[in-house]
Structure 1
Protein backbone atom coordinates (compact mmCIF):
# COMPACT_ATOMS: atom_id res chain seq x y z
CA UNK A 1 0.00 0.00 0.00
CA UNK A 2 1.26 3.49 -0.88
CA UNK A 3 1.55 5.23 2.50
CA UNK A 4 1.84 8.66 0.89
CA UNK A 5 -1.44 8.06 -0.93
CA UNK A 6 -3.05 6.90 2.33
CA UNK A 7 -1.92 10.11 4.02
CA UNK A 8 -3.42 12.09 1.13
CA UNK A 9 -6.67 10.16 1.54
CA UNK A 10 -6.78 11.04 5.26
CA UNK A 11 -6.19 14.71 4.40
CA UNK A 12 -9.10 14.64 1.93
CA UNK A 13 -11.44 13.25 4.59
CA UNK A 14 -10.31 15.80 7.17
CA UNK A 15 -10.55 18.70 4.73
CA UNK A 16 -13.95 17.63 3.42
CA UNK A 17 -13.10 17.86 -0.29
CA UNK A 18 -10.35 17.13 -2.78
CA UNK A 19 -9.81 20.80 -3.59
CA UNK A 20 -9.49 21.81 0.08
CA UNK A 21 -7.03 18.97 0.69
CA UNK A 22 -5.02 19.93 -2.39
CA UNK A 23 -4.71 23.48 -1.04
CA UNK A 24 -3.65 22.21 2.37
CA UNK A 25 -1.10 19.77 0.94
CA UNK A 26 0.04 22.31 -1.67
CA UNK A 27 -0.19 19.86 -4.56
CA UNK A 28 -2.17 20.15 -7.82
CA UNK A 29 -5.74 18.94 -7.62
CA UNK A 30 -5.35 16.55 -10.62
CA UNK A 31 -2.33 14.96 -8.92
CA UNK A 32 -4.24 14.40 -5.69
CA UNK A 33 -7.28 13.01 -7.52
CA UNK A 34 -5.06 10.63 -9.50
CA UNK A 35 -3.29 9.35 -6.37
CA UNK A 36 -6.63 8.64 -4.66
CA UNK A 37 -7.90 6.74 -7.71
CA UNK A 38 -4.67 4.70 -7.79
CA UNK A 39 -5.14 3.85 -4.11
CA UNK A 40 -8.71 2.71 -4.80
CA UNK A 41 -7.51 0.53 -7.68
CA UNK A 42 -4.80 -0.93 -5.50
CA UNK A 43 -7.30 -1.80 -2.74
CA UNK A 44 -10.00 -2.76 -5.26
CA UNK A 45 -12.65 -0.75 -3.41
CA UNK A 46 -14.19 2.69 -3.73
CA UNK A 47 -13.15 4.90 -0.83
CA UNK A 48 -14.86 8.18 -1.69
CA UNK A 49 -18.10 9.16 -3.33
CA UNK A 50 -17.50 12.39 -5.23
CA UNK A 51 -20.12 15.05 -5.92
CA UNK A 52 -20.35 18.80 -6.50
CA UNK A 53 -20.87 19.19 -2.75
CA UNK A 54 -17.58 17.54 -1.89
CA UNK A 55 -16.67 13.99 -0.94
CA UNK A 56 -18.38 11.37 1.20
CA UNK A 57 -16.85 8.25 2.66
CA UNK A 58 -18.01 4.82 1.58
CA UNK A 59 -18.17 2.05 4.18
CA UNK A 60 -14.74 0.82 3.05
CA UNK A 61 -13.41 4.38 3.17
CA UNK A 62 -14.71 4.82 6.70
CA UNK A 63 -12.89 1.70 7.88
CA UNK A 64 -9.64 2.76 6.21
CA UNK A 65 -9.87 6.27 7.64
CA UNK A 66 -10.44 5.00 11.18
CA UNK A 67 -7.31 2.86 11.08
CA UNK A 68 -5.12 5.10 8.93
CA UNK A 69 -5.79 8.30 10.87
CA UNK A 70 -4.71 6.59 14.11
CA UNK A 71 -1.53 5.36 12.44
CA UNK A 72 -0.69 8.79 11.04
CA UNK A 73 -1.35 10.36 14.42
CA UNK A 74 0.98 7.84 16.06
CA UNK A 75 3.71 8.67 13.54
CA UNK A 76 3.24 12.38 14.22
CA UNK A 77 3.53 11.73 17.94
CA UNK A 78 6.75 9.81 17.37
CA UNK A 79 8.14 12.67 15.33
CA UNK A 80 7.12 15.09 18.06
CA UNK A 81 8.84 12.96 20.72
CA UNK A 82 12.10 13.17 18.79
CA UNK A 83 11.84 16.86 17.92
CA UNK A 84 10.73 18.00 21.37
CA UNK A 85 14.03 16.78 22.79
CA UNK A 86 15.81 19.12 20.41
CA UNK A 87 13.83 22.30 20.92
CA UNK A 88 12.38 24.15 23.90
CA UNK A 89 8.70 24.86 23.39
CA UNK A 90 7.77 28.53 23.54
CA UNK A 91 4.55 30.32 22.65
CA UNK A 92 0.88 30.64 23.58
CA UNK A 93 -1.77 27.99 24.23
CA UNK A 94 -5.47 28.94 24.29
CA UNK A 95 -7.75 26.51 26.13
CA UNK A 96 -11.47 26.17 26.81
CA UNK A 97 -12.68 24.46 30.01
CA UNK A 98 -16.05 23.92 31.69
CA UNK A 99 -16.62 25.95 34.89
CA UNK A 100 -15.30 24.58 38.18
CA UNK A 101 -13.26 21.84 36.54
CA UNK A 102 -10.76 21.79 39.37
CA UNK A 103 -8.61 18.80 38.30
CA UNK A 104 -7.57 20.68 35.17
CA UNK A 105 -6.40 23.70 37.17
CA UNK A 106 -3.68 21.57 38.75
CA UNK A 107 -2.96 19.91 35.40
CA UNK A 108 -2.38 23.27 33.72
CA UNK A 109 -0.11 24.38 36.58
CA UNK A 110 2.00 21.23 36.21
CA UNK A 111 2.05 21.61 32.43
CA UNK A 112 3.50 25.11 32.78
CA UNK A 113 6.05 23.86 35.28
CA UNK A 114 7.25 21.41 32.63
CA UNK A 115 7.05 24.00 29.84
CA UNK A 116 7.75 27.35 31.53
CA UNK A 117 7.99 29.26 28.23
CA UNK A 118 4.40 28.44 27.21
CA UNK A 119 1.87 31.15 28.09
CA UNK A 120 -1.62 29.73 28.72
CA UNK A 121 -4.96 31.50 28.31
CA UNK A 122 -7.99 29.68 29.78
CA UNK A 123 -11.50 30.54 28.59
CA UNK A 124 -14.05 29.14 31.05
CA UNK A 125 -17.56 28.69 29.71
CA UNK A 126 -20.44 26.25 29.66
CA UNK A 127 -21.39 26.93 26.07
CA UNK A 128 -19.90 24.89 23.25
CA UNK A 129 -17.39 27.31 21.85
CA UNK A 130 -16.57 27.65 18.17
CA UNK A 131 -12.86 26.89 18.26
CA UNK A 132 -12.12 28.79 15.07
CA UNK A 133 -14.25 31.84 15.80
CA UNK A 134 -13.20 32.07 19.45
CA UNK A 135 -9.53 31.41 18.74
CA UNK A 136 -9.28 28.30 20.92
CA UNK A 137 -6.51 25.75 20.34
CA UNK A 138 -7.95 22.91 22.44
CA UNK A 139 -11.35 22.56 24.15
CA UNK A 140 -12.18 20.09 26.90
CA UNK A 141 -15.56 18.41 26.49
CA UNK A 142 -17.38 15.96 28.74
CA UNK A 143 -19.56 13.42 26.95
CA UNK A 144 -19.80 11.76 23.54
CA UNK A 145 -18.38 13.81 20.68
CA UNK A 146 -20.28 13.98 17.39
CA UNK A 147 -18.72 17.11 15.86
CA UNK A 148 -17.49 16.08 12.42
CA UNK A 149 -15.23 19.08 11.89
CA UNK A 150 -13.20 18.46 15.05
CA UNK A 151 -10.63 15.89 16.04
CA UNK A 152 -11.48 14.37 19.43
CA UNK A 153 -8.66 12.95 21.55
CA UNK A 154 -10.10 10.67 24.22
CA UNK A 155 -8.41 11.26 27.58
CA UNK A 156 -10.26 9.29 30.23
CA UNK A 157 -13.49 7.42 30.99
CA UNK A 158 -15.03 7.50 34.47
CA UNK A 159 -18.31 7.18 36.38
CA UNK A 160 -19.91 9.65 38.75
CA UNK A 161 -20.45 8.58 42.34
CA UNK A 162 -23.43 9.20 44.59
CA UNK A 163 -22.38 10.76 47.91
CA UNK A 164 -23.75 12.03 51.19
CA UNK A 165 -22.24 13.17 54.48
CA UNK A 166 -21.96 10.80 57.48
CA UNK A 167 -24.31 13.15 59.39
CA UNK A 168 -27.08 12.79 56.79
CA UNK A 169 -26.62 9.00 56.67
CA UNK A 170 -26.72 8.83 60.46
CA UNK A 171 -30.01 10.76 60.44
CA UNK A 172 -31.78 8.97 57.57
CA UNK A 173 -29.98 5.64 57.37
CA UNK A 174 -27.84 4.05 54.67
CA UNK A 175 -29.79 3.36 51.44
CA UNK A 176 -29.78 -0.31 50.45
CA UNK A 177 -31.48 0.08 47.06
CA UNK A 178 -31.91 2.98 44.60
CA UNK A 179 -35.57 3.32 45.60
CA UNK A 180 -34.44 4.19 49.15
CA UNK A 181 -33.19 7.53 47.81
CA UNK A 182 -36.75 8.86 47.80
CA UNK A 183 -36.49 9.48 51.55
CA UNK A 184 -33.40 11.68 51.10
CA UNK A 185 -33.19 15.35 50.11
CA UNK A 186 -31.42 15.27 46.73
CA UNK A 187 -29.48 17.79 44.67
CA UNK A 188 -28.85 17.25 40.96
CA UNK A 189 -26.78 18.74 38.17
CA UNK A 190 -28.91 20.57 35.62
CA UNK A 191 -29.14 23.61 33.39
CA UNK A 192 -32.84 23.92 32.63
CA UNK A 193 -34.17 24.73 36.09
CA UNK A 194 -36.37 21.66 36.37
CA UNK A 195 -36.93 20.54 39.94
CA UNK A 196 -36.37 16.83 39.27
CA UNK A 197 -33.13 14.91 39.37
CA UNK A 198 -32.80 11.74 37.32
CA UNK A 199 -30.11 9.20 38.17
CA UNK A 200 -29.39 5.95 36.35
CA UNK A 201 -28.05 3.49 38.91
CA UNK A 202 -27.19 0.19 37.32
CA UNK A 203 -30.34 -0.91 35.50
CA UNK A 204 -32.61 1.27 37.63
CA UNK A 205 -33.70 4.85 37.04
CA UNK A 206 -34.45 7.07 40.02
CA UNK A 207 -36.47 10.27 39.61
CA UNK A 208 -36.18 12.42 42.70
CA UNK A 209 -37.86 15.70 43.62
CA UNK A 210 -34.61 17.62 43.84
CA UNK A 211 -34.43 20.37 46.44
CA UNK A 212 -31.64 21.92 44.36
CA UNK A 213 -30.44 21.76 40.77
CA UNK A 214 -27.24 23.54 39.76
CA UNK A 215 -24.83 23.50 36.84
CA UNK A 216 -21.87 23.69 39.20
CA UNK A 217 -20.51 20.52 40.83
CA UNK A 218 -18.59 22.59 43.40
CA UNK A 219 -21.90 23.95 44.66
CA UNK A 220 -23.40 20.46 44.82
CA UNK A 221 -20.34 19.18 46.68
CA UNK A 222 -20.54 21.98 49.25
CA UNK A 223 -24.17 21.15 50.03
CA UNK A 224 -23.33 17.45 50.38
CA UNK A 225 -20.41 18.24 52.69
CA UNK A 226 -22.74 20.40 54.78
CA UNK A 227 -24.93 17.33 55.37
CA UNK A 228 -27.91 18.77 53.50
CA UNK A 229 -28.29 16.57 50.40
CA UNK A 230 -27.39 13.45 48.49
CA UNK A 231 -25.80 14.30 45.14
CA UNK A 232 -23.67 12.89 42.33
CA UNK A 233 -20.09 14.03 41.77
CA UNK A 234 -17.29 13.20 39.37
CA UNK A 235 -14.90 10.86 41.21
CA UNK A 236 -12.05 13.37 41.18
CA UNK A 237 -14.25 15.91 43.02
CA UNK A 238 -15.51 13.35 45.53
CA UNK A 239 -12.23 11.50 46.23
CA UNK A 240 -10.78 13.83 48.87
CA UNK A 241 -14.04 13.96 50.85
CA UNK A 242 -14.40 10.18 50.73
CA UNK A 243 -10.76 9.64 51.78
CA UNK A 244 -10.99 11.91 54.83
CA UNK A 245 -14.43 10.64 55.88
CA UNK A 246 -16.43 13.79 55.15
CA UNK A 247 -18.38 11.98 52.43
CA UNK A 248 -19.70 8.43 52.02
CA UNK A 249 -20.09 6.76 48.61
CA UNK A 250 -23.65 5.41 48.38
CA UNK A 251 -24.89 2.32 46.50
CA UNK A 252 -21.44 1.39 45.14
CA UNK A 253 -22.85 -1.78 43.55
CA UNK A 254 -25.22 0.29 41.37
CA UNK A 255 -22.86 1.93 38.89
CA UNK A 256 -23.75 5.20 37.22
CA UNK A 257 -23.27 5.58 33.42
CA UNK A 258 -19.81 6.08 31.96
CA UNK A 259 -18.64 9.61 31.22
CA UNK A 260 -15.88 10.62 28.83
CA UNK A 261 -13.42 13.49 28.78
CA UNK A 262 -12.26 14.43 25.29
CA UNK A 263 -9.97 17.15 24.00
CA UNK A 264 -11.04 18.78 20.73
CA UNK A 265 -9.06 20.65 18.13
CA UNK A 266 -9.92 21.65 14.54
CA UNK A 267 -9.54 18.83 12.02
CA UNK A 268 -8.29 21.13 9.28
CA UNK A 269 -5.51 22.57 11.41
CA UNK A 270 -2.46 20.36 11.92
CA UNK A 271 -1.73 20.52 15.67
CA UNK A 272 1.31 22.56 16.59
CA UNK A 273 4.14 21.21 18.73
CA UNK A 274 2.64 23.07 21.69
CA UNK A 275 -0.81 21.56 21.17
CA UNK A 276 0.67 18.07 20.78
CA UNK A 277 2.68 18.53 23.97
CA UNK A 278 -0.49 19.56 25.82
CA UNK A 279 -2.47 16.58 24.46
CA UNK A 280 0.27 14.15 25.48
CA UNK A 281 0.60 15.72 28.91
CA UNK A 282 -3.16 15.48 29.52
CA UNK A 283 -3.19 11.79 28.63
CA UNK A 284 -0.27 11.18 30.99
CA UNK A 285 -1.70 13.19 33.89
CA UNK A 286 -5.36 12.17 33.58
CA UNK A 287 -4.64 8.62 34.74
CA UNK A 288 -3.83 10.09 38.16
CA UNK A 289 -7.31 11.62 38.48
CA UNK A 290 -8.92 8.30 39.31
CA UNK A 291 -6.32 7.21 41.84
Structure 2
Protein backbone atom coordinates (compact mmCIF):
# COMPACT_ATOMS: atom_id res chain seq x y z
CA UNK A 1 0.00 0.00 0.00
CA UNK A 2 1.20 3.49 -0.85
CA UNK A 3 1.28 4.98 2.67
CA UNK A 4 1.53 8.56 1.41
CA UNK A 5 -1.50 8.12 -0.87
CA UNK A 6 -3.44 6.43 1.92
CA UNK A 7 -2.77 9.34 4.27
CA UNK A 8 -3.88 11.84 1.62
CA UNK A 9 -7.10 9.91 1.04
CA UNK A 10 -7.79 9.59 4.77
CA UNK A 11 -7.24 13.33 5.35
CA UNK A 12 -9.56 14.22 2.47
CA UNK A 13 -12.30 11.89 3.78
CA UNK A 14 -11.99 13.44 7.25
CA UNK A 15 -12.17 16.98 5.85
CA UNK A 16 -15.10 16.40 3.49
CA UNK A 17 -16.84 13.85 5.75
CA UNK A 18 -17.70 11.93 2.59
CA UNK A 19 -16.23 9.01 0.68
CA UNK A 20 -18.02 10.10 -2.51
CA UNK A 21 -16.67 13.67 -2.39
CA UNK A 22 -13.20 12.35 -1.67
CA UNK A 23 -13.41 9.97 -4.61
CA UNK A 24 -14.22 12.85 -6.95
CA UNK A 25 -11.47 15.02 -5.47
CA UNK A 26 -8.72 12.39 -5.86
CA UNK A 27 -10.07 10.98 -9.14
CA UNK A 28 -10.77 7.52 -7.77
CA UNK A 29 -13.85 5.35 -7.38
CA UNK A 30 -15.72 5.39 -4.06
CA UNK A 31 -15.04 1.65 -3.49
CA UNK A 32 -11.32 2.27 -4.03
CA UNK A 33 -11.35 5.04 -1.43
CA UNK A 34 -13.18 2.74 0.99
CA UNK A 35 -10.62 -0.03 0.47
CA UNK A 36 -7.69 2.34 1.04
CA UNK A 37 -9.14 3.62 4.32
CA UNK A 38 -9.93 0.09 5.47
CA UNK A 39 -6.38 -1.02 4.67
CA UNK A 40 -4.99 1.99 6.55
CA UNK A 41 -7.11 1.17 9.61
CA UNK A 42 -5.85 -2.41 9.52
CA UNK A 43 -2.28 -1.21 9.21
CA UNK A 44 -2.43 1.18 12.18
CA UNK A 45 -4.56 -1.24 14.20
CA UNK A 46 -7.30 1.22 15.11
CA UNK A 47 -10.68 2.41 13.87
CA UNK A 48 -10.12 5.83 12.35
CA UNK A 49 -13.58 6.72 11.01
CA UNK A 50 -17.16 6.17 12.11
CA UNK A 51 -19.49 5.80 9.15
CA UNK A 52 -23.20 6.61 9.25
CA UNK A 53 -25.78 6.89 6.48
CA UNK A 54 -25.40 10.67 6.49
CA UNK A 55 -21.77 11.46 7.28
CA UNK A 56 -18.33 10.23 8.23
CA UNK A 57 -16.64 11.33 11.47
CA UNK A 58 -13.22 10.65 12.93
CA UNK A 59 -12.91 8.56 16.07
CA UNK A 60 -10.77 9.79 18.95
CA UNK A 61 -7.86 7.79 17.56
CA UNK A 62 -8.72 9.03 14.08
CA UNK A 63 -8.58 12.67 15.19
CA UNK A 64 -5.08 12.18 16.61
CA UNK A 65 -3.97 10.33 13.49
CA UNK A 66 -5.49 13.08 11.31
CA UNK A 67 -3.34 15.72 13.01
CA UNK A 68 -0.24 13.57 12.50
CA UNK A 69 -1.09 12.96 8.83
CA UNK A 70 -1.57 16.67 8.20
CA UNK A 71 1.80 17.40 9.77
CA UNK A 72 3.57 14.67 7.79
CA UNK A 73 1.90 15.58 4.49
CA UNK A 74 2.63 19.23 5.15
CA UNK A 75 6.28 18.49 5.68
CA UNK A 76 6.38 16.52 2.41
CA UNK A 77 4.58 19.30 0.51
CA UNK A 78 6.92 21.89 2.02
CA UNK A 79 9.98 19.90 0.96
CA UNK A 80 8.65 19.41 -2.56
CA UNK A 81 7.65 23.06 -2.91
CA UNK A 82 11.02 24.22 -1.67
CA UNK A 83 12.75 21.90 -4.12
CA UNK A 84 10.59 23.21 -6.95
CA UNK A 85 11.22 26.82 -5.95
CA UNK A 86 7.54 27.61 -5.26
CA UNK A 87 7.56 27.79 -1.48
CA UNK A 88 9.20 31.20 -1.20
CA UNK A 89 7.43 32.94 -4.09
CA UNK A 90 3.63 33.27 -4.50
CA UNK A 91 2.32 31.69 -7.68
CA UNK A 92 -0.95 30.53 -9.19
CA UNK A 93 -4.45 31.75 -8.25
CA UNK A 94 -5.56 32.84 -4.77
CA UNK A 95 -9.23 32.09 -4.02
CA UNK A 96 -10.82 33.86 -1.05
CA UNK A 97 -14.34 34.16 0.38
CA UNK A 98 -15.88 36.78 2.69
CA UNK A 99 -19.30 38.26 3.54
CA UNK A 100 -20.56 40.50 0.71
CA UNK A 101 -20.18 43.97 2.23
CA UNK A 102 -17.03 43.08 4.15
CA UNK A 103 -15.53 41.69 0.98
CA UNK A 104 -16.41 44.73 -1.08
CA UNK A 105 -15.32 47.27 1.54
CA UNK A 106 -12.24 45.67 3.09
CA UNK A 107 -11.08 42.51 1.31
CA UNK A 108 -11.14 43.75 -2.28
CA UNK A 109 -8.70 46.64 -1.63
CA UNK A 110 -6.31 44.17 0.01
CA UNK A 111 -6.65 41.77 -2.92
CA UNK A 112 -5.82 44.46 -5.48
CA UNK A 113 -2.84 45.63 -3.39
CA UNK A 114 -1.69 42.00 -3.19
CA UNK A 115 -1.94 41.58 -6.97
CA UNK A 116 0.05 44.78 -7.48
CA UNK A 117 2.76 43.39 -5.21
CA UNK A 118 2.86 40.04 -7.03
CA UNK A 119 2.20 40.70 -10.74
CA UNK A 120 2.37 37.00 -11.63
CA UNK A 121 -0.53 36.12 -9.32
CA UNK A 122 -4.22 35.83 -10.12
CA UNK A 123 -7.12 36.04 -7.66
CA UNK A 124 -10.70 34.85 -7.41
CA UNK A 125 -13.20 36.16 -4.85
CA UNK A 126 -16.47 34.70 -3.59
CA UNK A 127 -18.33 37.36 -1.63
CA UNK A 128 -21.44 35.74 -0.17
CA UNK A 129 -23.45 36.07 3.05
CA UNK A 130 -23.19 32.43 4.06
CA UNK A 131 -20.31 30.33 5.28
CA UNK A 132 -18.95 27.99 2.63
CA UNK A 133 -16.76 24.95 3.12
CA UNK A 134 -13.45 26.24 1.84
CA UNK A 135 -12.07 22.74 1.31
CA UNK A 136 -15.06 21.55 -0.74
CA UNK A 137 -15.26 24.82 -2.70
CA UNK A 138 -11.57 24.79 -3.56
CA UNK A 139 -10.89 28.06 -1.72
CA UNK A 140 -7.61 29.05 -0.12
CA UNK A 141 -8.81 31.37 2.60
CA UNK A 142 -11.94 32.79 4.25
CA UNK A 143 -12.89 35.75 6.40
CA UNK A 144 -15.16 34.64 9.26
CA UNK A 145 -17.13 37.04 11.47
CA UNK A 146 -18.39 35.36 14.63
CA UNK A 147 -17.34 32.59 16.98
CA UNK A 148 -15.66 29.68 15.20
CA UNK A 149 -16.56 26.02 15.63
CA UNK A 150 -13.81 23.53 16.38
CA UNK A 151 -12.08 22.48 13.17
CA UNK A 152 -8.72 21.54 11.76
CA UNK A 153 -8.40 24.96 10.13
CA UNK A 154 -5.88 27.61 11.09
CA UNK A 155 -7.50 30.82 12.35
CA UNK A 156 -5.79 34.18 12.86
CA UNK A 157 -7.78 36.82 14.72
CA UNK A 158 -7.59 40.25 13.10
CA UNK A 159 -10.05 42.14 15.27
CA UNK A 160 -13.60 42.29 16.56
CA UNK A 161 -16.84 43.77 15.28
CA UNK A 162 -19.80 45.28 17.12
CA UNK A 163 -23.42 44.45 16.36
CA UNK A 164 -25.20 47.81 16.50
CA UNK A 165 -28.71 49.22 16.26
CA UNK A 166 -28.95 52.42 14.27
CA UNK A 167 -31.30 54.90 12.68
CA UNK A 168 -31.17 58.20 10.85
CA UNK A 169 -31.10 61.33 13.06
CA UNK A 170 -34.31 62.51 11.40
CA UNK A 171 -36.12 59.30 12.36
CA UNK A 172 -34.96 59.60 15.98
CA UNK A 173 -36.11 63.23 16.15
CA UNK A 174 -39.51 62.21 14.85
CA UNK A 175 -40.06 58.91 16.70
CA UNK A 176 -37.79 59.32 19.74
CA UNK A 177 -34.64 57.51 20.78
CA UNK A 178 -35.06 54.10 22.45
CA UNK A 179 -33.51 54.03 25.92
CA UNK A 180 -33.81 50.29 26.61
CA UNK A 181 -34.27 47.23 24.37
CA UNK A 182 -37.88 47.01 25.51
CA UNK A 183 -38.55 50.37 23.79
CA UNK A 184 -38.00 48.73 20.40
CA UNK A 185 -41.62 47.57 20.36
CA UNK A 186 -42.61 51.20 19.78
CA UNK A 187 -40.43 51.57 16.70
CA UNK A 188 -40.52 50.55 13.05
CA UNK A 189 -37.96 47.80 12.47
CA UNK A 190 -36.18 47.12 9.20
CA UNK A 191 -34.47 43.72 9.08
CA UNK A 192 -32.61 41.47 6.70
CA UNK A 193 -33.70 37.94 5.89
CA UNK A 194 -30.18 36.96 4.79
CA UNK A 195 -28.48 33.91 6.29
CA UNK A 196 -26.98 36.15 9.02
CA UNK A 197 -30.38 37.39 10.21
CA UNK A 198 -32.26 36.31 13.33
CA UNK A 199 -35.82 37.10 14.50
CA UNK A 200 -34.39 37.63 17.96
CA UNK A 201 -32.06 40.46 18.92
CA UNK A 202 -29.74 39.73 21.82
CA UNK A 203 -28.34 42.19 24.31
CA UNK A 204 -25.92 42.22 27.21
CA UNK A 205 -26.90 40.26 30.30
CA UNK A 206 -28.62 37.59 28.24
CA UNK A 207 -31.58 39.82 27.40
CA UNK A 208 -33.42 38.84 24.22
CA UNK A 209 -36.05 40.74 22.29
CA UNK A 210 -38.21 39.16 19.59
CA UNK A 211 -38.63 41.62 16.75
CA UNK A 212 -41.51 42.03 14.31
CA UNK A 213 -39.98 43.77 11.27
CA UNK A 214 -42.32 45.98 9.31
CA UNK A 215 -39.92 45.77 6.37
CA UNK A 216 -37.82 42.75 5.44
CA UNK A 217 -35.06 43.02 2.81
CA UNK A 218 -32.94 40.28 1.30
CA UNK A 219 -29.68 42.25 1.40
CA UNK A 220 -27.91 44.15 4.15
CA UNK A 221 -27.33 47.10 1.85
CA UNK A 222 -31.09 47.50 1.27
CA UNK A 223 -31.67 47.47 5.03
CA UNK A 224 -29.01 50.14 5.53
CA UNK A 225 -30.44 52.28 2.73
CA UNK A 226 -33.91 52.11 4.31
CA UNK A 227 -32.50 53.21 7.66
CA UNK A 228 -30.51 56.04 6.04
CA UNK A 229 -33.69 57.30 4.41
CA UNK A 230 -35.21 57.77 7.86
CA UNK A 231 -37.74 54.97 7.55
CA UNK A 232 -36.90 52.92 10.66
CA UNK A 233 -34.39 51.26 12.99
CA UNK A 234 -32.18 48.37 11.97
CA UNK A 235 -29.41 46.17 13.36
CA UNK A 236 -26.20 45.57 11.43
CA UNK A 237 -22.49 45.01 11.94
CA UNK A 238 -20.63 48.21 12.74
CA UNK A 239 -18.34 48.11 9.70
CA UNK A 240 -21.34 48.02 7.35
CA UNK A 241 -22.39 51.54 8.33
CA UNK A 242 -18.97 53.08 8.96
CA UNK A 243 -19.22 55.59 6.08
CA UNK A 244 -22.81 56.50 6.99
CA UNK A 245 -21.83 57.12 10.61
CA UNK A 246 -18.95 59.36 9.57
CA UNK A 247 -21.25 61.29 7.25
CA UNK A 248 -23.83 61.76 10.02
CA UNK A 249 -26.45 59.85 8.04
CA UNK A 250 -26.92 57.23 10.76
CA UNK A 251 -26.66 57.21 14.54
CA UNK A 252 -26.07 54.25 16.86
CA UNK A 253 -28.51 53.73 19.75
CA UNK A 254 -28.64 51.39 22.77
CA UNK A 255 -24.83 51.18 22.87
CA UNK A 256 -24.87 50.38 26.61
CA UNK A 257 -26.86 47.21 25.91
CA UNK A 258 -24.67 45.76 23.15
CA UNK A 259 -23.33 42.22 23.43
CA UNK A 260 -19.53 41.77 23.35
CA UNK A 261 -18.11 42.32 19.85
CA UNK A 262 -17.86 39.35 17.47
CA UNK A 263 -14.35 38.13 16.61
CA UNK A 264 -13.08 38.46 13.03
CA UNK A 265 -10.69 35.77 11.77
CA UNK A 266 -8.77 34.81 8.68
CA UNK A 267 -9.19 31.05 8.24
CA UNK A 268 -7.22 28.67 6.01
CA UNK A 269 -6.48 24.94 5.94
CA UNK A 270 -2.74 24.32 5.82
CA UNK A 271 -1.35 26.12 8.87
CA UNK A 272 2.38 26.77 8.72
CA UNK A 273 2.59 24.60 5.59
CA UNK A 274 0.33 26.97 3.66
CA UNK A 275 1.68 27.82 0.21
CA UNK A 276 3.49 31.09 -0.30
CA UNK A 277 0.49 32.69 -2.04
CA UNK A 278 -1.64 32.18 1.09
CA UNK A 279 1.04 33.21 3.59
CA UNK A 280 1.80 36.39 1.65
CA UNK A 281 -1.87 37.38 1.53
CA UNK A 282 -2.41 36.58 5.22
CA UNK A 283 0.58 38.72 6.20
CA UNK A 284 -0.77 41.66 4.21
CA UNK A 285 -4.38 41.23 5.35
CA UNK A 286 -3.40 40.95 9.02
CA UNK A 287 -1.40 44.17 8.74
CA UNK A 288 -4.19 46.09 7.00
CA UNK A 289 -7.13 44.85 9.08
CA UNK A 290 -5.44 45.09 12.47
CA UNK A 291 -4.34 48.59 11.53
CA UNK A 292 -7.94 49.71 10.97
CA UNK A 293 -9.36 51.36 14.13
CA UNK A 294 -12.81 49.99 13.31
CA UNK A 295 -11.55 46.50 14.17
CA UNK A 296 -10.02 47.39 17.51
Please give the range of the TM-score, normalised by the shorter of the 2 chains.
0.5 to 0.7
Report matched runs for 1:67-86 at 5 Å: none
Paired residue secondary structure (1:108): helix
| Aligned-pair CA distance for 1:215 | 4.5
Change (3 A) 1:89 1:220: same
Counterpart position of 1:198: 200
- Please give the alpha-carbon distance, in whole angstroms, between the structure 2 residues aligned to 1:270 and 1:193: 32
Counterpart position of 1:96: 97
- Please give the alpha-carbon distance, in whole angstroms, between the structure 2 residues aligned to 1:15 and 1:103: 32
2:129–2:194 CA contact under 8 A, matched in 1: no
| Aligned-pair CA distance for 1:271 | 1.1
| Aligned-pair CA distance for 1:57 | 5.1
Of 99, 108, 113, the residue aligned with 2:111 is 108
| Aligned-pair CA distance for 1:164 | 0.4
TM-score by length of 1: 0.66
- Please give the alpha-carbon distance, in whole angstroms, between the structure 1 residues aligned to 2:48 and 2:245: 58
Counterpart position of 1:150: 153
Counterpart position of 1:189: 192
Paired residue secondary structure (2:257): coil
Change (3 A) 1:130 1:248: closer
Counterpart position of 2:138: 135
Paired residue secondary structure (1:181): helix
Paired residue secondary structure (1:146): coil
Instruction: List per-residue Cα deviations over 1:98-133 (Å, max 9, x = no partner).
Output: 223222222323333333432211123344434344
Change (3 A) 1:269 1:212: farther
Q: How many pairs align? A: 244
Counterpart position of 1:261: 264
Report matched runs for 1:1-291 at 5 Å: 50-53=46-49, 89-101=90-102, 102-146=105-149, 148-191=151-194, 197-203=199-205, 204-267=207-270, 270-287=273-290, 288=292, 289-290=294-295
> How large is the RMSD of aligned CA atoms in angstroms?
4.4
| Aligned-pair CA distance for 1:192 | 7.2
Unaligned runs of 5+ in 2: 1-7, 15-44, 51-57
| Aligned-pair CA distance for 1:152 | 3.1
More strand by share: 1
Change (3 A) 1:122 1:52: closer
Counterpart position of 2:34: none
2:162–2:238 CA contact under 8 A, matched in 1: yes
TM-score by length of 2: 0.65
